Amino acid sequence: MLKQIINFFYFNTRFEARLKNAFKILEKNKKIKNLYKLKERLSNIRYKIKKNTINDGYFKYNLDLYLSLNQFIYSRLINKPIFTSKLMFSMANNDNFIFPLPKIYLDEINKIVKVNYLISKVLFYTFLTFFFLYQLSIILKSAFLLFNKKAYKSKKILLDSVPKLNFESLKDDKEVNFFKWVIKKFDINSDSIFIHNNAEIKNQKIILGKNKYKVLYQKNIFTCCLNFNRYLLSLKKTLFIVIKIIFFGKIELLLLSKELFNFHLFECSKNDQNYDLCLFNNSNMVFRPLWTHVNERINPGSVFVYFYSTNLIPLLQEIDKEKYFDVYGYSLHSWPNYITWSDIHSEWLSNSINKKIKLIKTSFVPFAGKHTKLIKKRRTLTIFDVPPKKLGIYYLLNNPYNIYTLDYCKKFVEDIIRAIPESIYRDIDIIFKIKREYKNIHPLYKKYINEITSHKNIKLINDISPESVIDISDATISIPFTSTAITSLRKGKHSIYYDPSEKLSKNNCLENEVKLVTSFKELENWITDCFEK
């Protein structure tokens, strides 16, 4: 509801016009880089505490409350469109910057744009008060779950931030969906329950061999930990730490009130009803929930971050030859375990996080779309794109190193179609697999794709998994540097990246075995070699 209200009053037609104007001014005055630089500095802010009167009891869980606070502020307040747009308007129009943030962040912002400290401070404390009361209401409301508490004897696997994935009962174990990938990757050979909070995924079950696996929607993932004594003890501990926070004047920590309650709930549960495996992905990776520290201590090696895509490393700075600023918050990470796609990915991640982490590798992650067994009729070439976003999204600067402009993406497709010799074109099937069908695709790109797939020998697919298409493909061409090329390679298909700008190198590619083609002639030769009789 709150998000809808903000969108109605703030992100409207007038907003888009103001945003475009601010972007043009910043671009003309070469100030966009200053915004990226500032966000990197904001992600590196850490509270310096002389006496850890509040933090001491959490260190045994390898938990630093102040680092968690930095993670929360950056991921929930700073790395959001409303903050970026407010900053852009202030920088472009020389207006005072007003935003609800602690003073330590406002001081850094004040170095590039004048901050109205008084109003920002009032807004922050107002926000903090209402947010604390909101969190308290959620904590009290969770008491009603005691009347519907659930305890599970099977292994429990938590899936955080998952889209509408499928768990169909496939007879062919070689066909892989996300759930089967988890079962195989973590060698889960006993009855298990996949718990998630996506209401669009129906409760389902599957039998594989002697084991039964269930997919279960649970609005509150902490239901399995609840009983009357644990609830009261957790509430008591939370209220006690809240009093300490207020008494010692560290009231910013009230932002973590609900997280503290969930932490103490898991702590009270000890070895009973903790999760055997917790999987978080890169869509929500900056803030680590406090309770996962307890789960990891009780069950070492149970909390993981996995990447459903390898298209992670910014690319534009290689084309523009400008300095790269980390605006994604990798320096804030405190996760213990990661799943990566390659040695290069592991090395890049270790350097970005700059702390000791455990890394395990995977071949691919079948994360998106419905897995369907397609019928192969002829030899098949598949094109994997990344759709350009409409200009309003581009102007928000949420992805500062995005190379996927309308011109870049159109040229990627146009060059591939032109490079297919007429003799081959008549004898093969061509599939165009759009990465994602969503409302923010640039309308001119959507129009272009609809035109070529309606008038040419090209089939458009957008509603099934990339793996389903790769399985019937003889060769695939992917836009740099997406994961479909790696998945194709590991499924034994001919696979390349094609860069229509002719400026990229393999320096930022996470898999050296995939060839990067950067010229039209080379692209033409590669297609001919793959499909000539």
Dihedral-angle region of residue 113 (phi above 0 means left; psi in -120 to 50 means alpha; beta otherwise) = beta
Pairing verdict, β 211-217 and 204-208? antiparallel
Q: Which two tokens stand for residue 387?
A: 């759709």
Q: How confident is the model at residue 12 (pLDDT cuts 50, 70, 90)?
A: low
* Interval 238-264 mean pLDDT: 95
90, 116 contact by CB (below 8 A): no
Q: Which of residues 328 and 209 earns the better pLDDT score?
A: 328
Residue 465 CA to residue 122 CA, distance in Å, equals: 48
pLDDT at 168 over 70: no
Pairing verdict, β 429-433 and 494-498? unpaired
183-213 pLDDT, tens digit each: 989 999 888 999 998 888 888 887 777 888 8
pLDDT of residue 229: 86
* Interval 482-503 mean pLDDT: 93
CA 68 to chain centre: 18
Task: Fill in the DSSP letter of residue 328.
Answer: S
Residue 523 CA to residue 516 CA, distance in Å, equals: 10
List of long-range contacts for 356-364, beta carbons under 8 Å, 24+ apart = 357/333, 358/301, 362/181, 362/185, 362/306, 363/487, 363/490, 364/467, 364/483, 364/486, 364/487, 364/490
pLDDT of residue 143: 86
Q: Which two tokens stand for residue 54?
A: 């509040």
Q: Which two tokens stand for residue 244?
A: 């300490």
pLDDT of residue 378: 93
Sheet of strand 380-384, all strands in order from the earlier edge strand to the far edge: 458-461, 429-433, 380-384, 475-478, 494-498, 515-517
Q: How confident is the model at residue 170 (pLDDT cuts 50, 70, 90)?
A: very low
pLDDT at 61 over 80: yes
Residue 28 CA to residue 155 CA, distance in Å, equals: 57
Pairing verdict, β 358-361 and 277-281? unpaired
Sheet of strand 277-281, all strands in order from the earlier edge strand to the far edge: 204-208, 211-217, 192-196, 155-159, 277-281, 303-306, 337-340, 358-361
Q: How confident is the model at residue 22 (pLDDT cuts 50, 70, 90)?
A: very high
Task: Fill in the DSSP letter of residue 464.
Answer: B
pLDDT of residue 438: 67
Report the candidate in 313, 307, 353, 350 with the shortest Cα–Cα distance to residue 332. 353
Residue position matching structure tokens 């009347």 = 147
333, 355 contact by CB (below 8 A): yes
